[in-house]
Amino acid sequence: MKPAWDKLMKDFEGSDTALVADVDCTAAGKPLCDSNGVQGFPTIKWGDPLAMEDYQGGREYDDLKKFADENLKPVCGPNNIDLCDDEKKAEIEKLEALGLDALNAQIKEKDAEIKALDDVFEAELKKLQETYEKISKEKEDGTQAIKDSGLSLMKAVASKLKQSA
């Protein structure tokens, strides 16, 4: 993926409206990565620098370039209110009116809701993994027991009888 990403960065070099860059999350870029929820590598984030989103598309150059051309542009948000429709402007104004403390409290609640969903997902995934391992072992043991009961010999005798017929 790195060559494709490097080519994309070169394509957007000098752009006044879009930034394509890479960040070393293990060194000086760690605080930026932590604040944007980067947990694995490589991770691609895009969108408003104040509210980055996960990129889920293809990792080849053509996929990245198409996505970038269609999406990396100024978008409606608190820093580009002029790009917003009336409904989004009203929503931004309502959130701004809450004040920083109240807004941070709501963000904390929403982040906690996401964490709760993640926790349930991880717990259920662990159960699934344990179930998979159990039934996989049962299948392997059962298959081996059937083979050990003479299946190979049966197949050999059947093959001989078939040739004789």
- Give 117's DSSP letter: H
Mind listing the pLDDT tens digit for each residue in 113-157? 999 999 999 999 999 999 999 999 999 999 999 999 999 999 999
* Tally of domains in the chain: 2
Residue 82 included in any domain: no
Evaluate whether 75 touches 46 at the Cβ level (below 8 Å).
Answer: no
Residue 91 included in any domain: no
Record the pTM: 0.56
68 and 105 together in one domain:
no
Give the C-alpha separation, 102 to 89, whole Å: 19
Residue 144 included in any domain: yes
Evaluate whether 77 touches 85 at the Cβ level (below 8 Å).
Answer: no
- Report the amino acid identity of residue 55: Y
3-state secondary structure of 20: coil
Mean pLDDT on 20-28: 88
Domain of 42?
A: 2-74
Closest to 44 (Cα-Cα) out of 35, 34, 57? 57
Evaluate whether 84 touches 92 at the Cβ level (below 8 Å).
Answer: yes
Q: 40, 74, 108: which is the final residue of a domain?
A: 74
53 and 106 together in one domain:
no
Helix axes 100-146, 86-98, angle to 10 degrees: 100
Question: How much is the pLDDT for 125?
Answer: 96
Question: How much is the pLDDT for 131?
Answer: 97
Q: Where residue 14 sits, what CATH number does that domain have?
A: 3.40.30.10
Q: 59, 74, 89: which is the final residue of a domain?
A: 74
Residue 86 included in any domain: no
Q: 74, 91, 115: which is the final residue of a domain?
A: 74
